[in-house]
Chain A
Amino acid sequence: MDQTTWNFIFIGITFSVYIGIAIWSRAGSTKEYYTAGGSVSPFANGMATAADWMSAATFISMAGGIAAAGYGASKFLMGWTGGFVLLTTLMVPYLRKFGKATVPDFVGDRFYSNGARLVAVICAIFICMTYIMGQMRGVGIVFSRLFDIEIWMGVMIGGGIVFFYAGLGGMKGITYTQVAQYCVMVFAYTIPVIFISIIITGNVIPQLGLIGNYVKEGAENSQPLLEKINQISVDLGFREYTAGTGNKLDLFCITAALMVGTAGLPHVIVRFFTVKSVKAVRKSAFWTLSFIAIIYLTAPALGMFARTNFIEEINEKKYQNAPEWFVNWENQGMIAWVDKNNDGIMQYRAGNVFTGKPTFNDTNRLENGPRLVTNEIDSSANEVYYDKDIIVLANPEMAGLPKWVIALVMAGCVAAALSTAAGLLLVLSTSISHDLMKKIIKPDISDKQEIRYARIASFGALVIAAYFGINPPSSFVAKTVAFAFGLAASSFFPTLIMGIFSKRINKEGAIAGMISGIGFTLSYIIYFQFWTESKDYWMGISPEGVGFLGMIINFVVAFLVSTVTPPPPQEVQDMVEEIRIPKGSGEATHH
């Protein structure tokens, strides 16, 4: 069977499962729509949260980033898992006890003000919107590769599927679909790595690759794999794979911003409102991180294996003998080779091949010759360009694995993008139907009308997200990820923490804190990402890490303003005492 047939089989089966689950579990009430009726088991919720959390970016790009940056990519590994420790110990048990369906609900009630609620709603919409665009783009790209269609068609198909089960099923439908999607993702991610691990380290457990030896056939003597990679890297002019990055402060700030941002992302927080009690929240958080860890412990091994395979397969080989996958990806424009020294051999070294992303001119291309690029050629000795996003997708081909494995990986990518998009879409639609319509604009609407607003809102949000997925304004999507995390880190995280752990922080403090935290973070990111080309960061802290500073500003401002304004009313202080006691959490309500 050829590759396209396998792709159709895998995508077809997984999609039928998702749609079947959506129909089986469609929501009847707002409670089911927002929190799945509060009846999901901690184990199932853990799987669903893991799928919700791991996006197309994690699935496709992270291992490639690790392969390219080595130790420098540790910020993603630690940042995107460590946040769950903060989330579990500082936030979700208390928010679950509070018992409302959304994050702006808590902010509005705790700070007894619709102003605070509105600021929170705007933050939630902005965070989810920026995040969901990237997912739509991811779905579009995978579909266009799979079925050889235009990207816009891929985006429309993906959007249609997500609307179908997120709009119909609400949180209940999403939860059970995400459980299925997690299973697809974990197989798709680990199975190819297991095969490769056996070839390279002789160990069936790929996660142990980091501490294992290189035992590939034909190896002269067995040596630690990392030592070998360090050696190759240095030989080719790179820094050692395991070596530090120089700017510790920036690494520290980015890791912190990712952790704190993770703990402040509304679509992750609301997932814990679907279980029965505070006790179940704790258990579920443990399951969530365990499921995430299976993939996150595999990623660094995959990165190493991919780097080894890539160099062994390509470096110092004749272009005429280049492997099939190399030529395929070259035809997709994700790989390019410039024969700088005219020897017909590909030299892979440190440094840029040319400036920017490749642009091709195929009119003068010789038969069986490389595609010719029109970019300005760099003076470095490096001749091989590759887009690091192809690492996960190309890895099975690099290792010569069978075709069905490649189809499985594709299905995993789609599952990752769809599950995250669905979770985000739910928060977007509830922010509008519940927090905006029901709580602020039209308090007298009925349950049924509220769900109708939610469905209309999710349709509207999808149309906008699909539009930007099809027409991303110049690599806008990649840059906006910094926005989502920076905003979550500088707005929700500190505000929620203070709402739970302090009885003294009042509405003036919370609003002032949120606005100054976000204001600072947004200005810094916009200035360096869109305004200027300069990389002259303050103290060397890059825009990805600035959310950490924004968080500190939020804390300080909220504290200062609160001390000079009157304390919160007694009933709010009583409420804070109440949420600190786990007993009596009951079901999460929407009223």
Chain B
Amino acid sequence: MTRFFTLWKREVASYFVSPVAYILATMFLVVMGVGFWFLANVRLMAGATFYDLLRALYGGVAWFAVLMVIPVLSMRSFAEEKRSGTLEMLLTAPVRDGEVVFSKFLGIFTVYVVMWLPTLAYYPLLANAANQEMVFDYGALASAYVGVFLIGGFFLSIGLFCSSLTQNLISASISSFAVISLIFLGGFLPAVSPIPGIRTFTEPLSPILHMLEYSRGVIDTRSVVLYLSSTLLMLLITTRVLESRRWRA
């Protein structure tokens, strides 16, 4: 456990000593902030409710931010260590390959969570500015964050997997962006597919629909299990990829 903590600490620290995390966080907060400002000013003026705001912010704007941030956030994890050779130092220390993968995942997940934290400041601001009749549902808000972290965690595990396949940061980020975008766009199928079979099949798998549910306060255990197990599966596959160095090269 001490080793796991050591690895996790190093992973988190490595982001905050490089400019990457700050640039990413700035971009992320600009996108979210502009989205929030627009929604708070324009939509609420037009009579939208707190739920409409959550739905538009977490079910809509957040996707742009997430799709932009996650590939860049996860690209370094293994690719950088492979490129610089430090992976050899890391894996010849007495640590299990699985420990390395899970601690790296938890490290980037921590950075991801930290990036989201400032968005919590929107609600005191909103409470201050909004009219008295507005109903704040903090349960729904918490549920929206559960969704953001569950889906974000799954996408980060995809990014980690893509990073473990290469030593090139660009190809790591592009490949994870491609896979994540595909999953995201696949989320539109229940709405746009002309074939009823595809609609019914993809409906319980659509991250877009899931996010809309989370942001209105509905936590469906099926989707929770889906994301947790998919994340675990991706991490286990990544561990296998890491182990394959033993016989590949």
**Chains A and B come from one and the same complex:** no
B positions within 8 Å CB-CB of A: none
